Amino acid sequence: MTIHAADAPIRVLLAEDDGDARALLTDLLNSMGHQVVAAASGGREAVRRAQEVTPDVVLLDVHMPDGSGIEAAEEITRQAPGTAVVLFSGDESVSLNDREVGATAAIAFLPKPTPPRVLDATIRLAVSRAHDLASARKDAHAAREQLEHRKVIERAKGILMRRTGTSEQEAYRILQRTSQDRSVPMVTIAKAVLDSEPGASQAAASRSTEAKGLPANG
């Protein structure tokens, strides 16, 4: 999902098997300033259209003839985890179990019909919430990657210290200078140092060429 500008219309994929209800909801959403970029009459069609149009939010009826909205929401969430999902149903007995809540990543579950103001507010909140969750996942991934890079660099420093008898600071400078000279990230040089160790994986040995010019083992 692309980052949504505050003044841009929210791009909605609507999945509703009743043609009349679908048309009414499309007109209502457009009148609210949203943009219905696709409308589907079934779950499988909703999944396919979500791949094609990458909406900001998917509004899914729980009951559809070729597969429930819950199943479609699960598939859309797997394919595009940053897309907001709002489920709705006219069946008051419908409820989601814990597995379905987690698998669909649904932001809200609305009754049908839903008052226009509630629908509008829910869609806007869903997109904002999905964006916040996507940003949090991105930050968490970057933090994990940064930690792994630090671990690789620390291991490479240890190897260089053993090979050269230099201090930790000097070993770090060797990595830093080589990174600057070759205009590649320091972690790339550090991985090459690890790969140049005896017994390193043959699959990663091709990266050892990056270590050319660094102190040899022994």
CATH of the domain at 193: 1.10.10.10
Domain count within the chain: 2
Q: Is the predicted pLDDT of residue 55 greater than 50, yes or no?
A: yes
Report how far residue 71's alpha carbon sits from residue 15's, in angstroms, rounded to the nearest whole number: 12
For residue 203, the model assigns a pLDDT of 41
Report how far residue 86's alpha carbon sits from residue 183's, in angstroms, rounded to the nearest whole number: 46
Same domain for 96 and 150? Answer: no
134 in any annotated domain: no
Q: Report CA 152 to chain centroid distance, whole Å.
A: 25
Kindly report the number of other CB atoms within 10 A of residue 48's CB atom.
15
Q: pTM of whole model > 0.95?
A: no
Q: Is the predicted pLDDT of residue 116 greater than 70, yes or no?
A: yes
HSE (side-chain half, CA atoms, 13 Å) at 23:
2
Q: Is the predicted pLDDT of residue 2 greater than 70, yes or no?
A: no
Higher-confidence residue: 180 or 70? Answer: 180
Q: Please give the structure tokens belonging to residue 4.
A: 């949504």
Same domain for 28 and 101? Answer: yes
Same domain for 105 and 149? Answer: no
Same domain for 22 and 110? Answer: yes
For residue 1, the model assigns a pLDDT of 42
128 in any annotated domain: no
Domain that residue 41 falls in: 11-114
217 in any annotated domain: no
Domain boundary among 94, 114, 134: 114
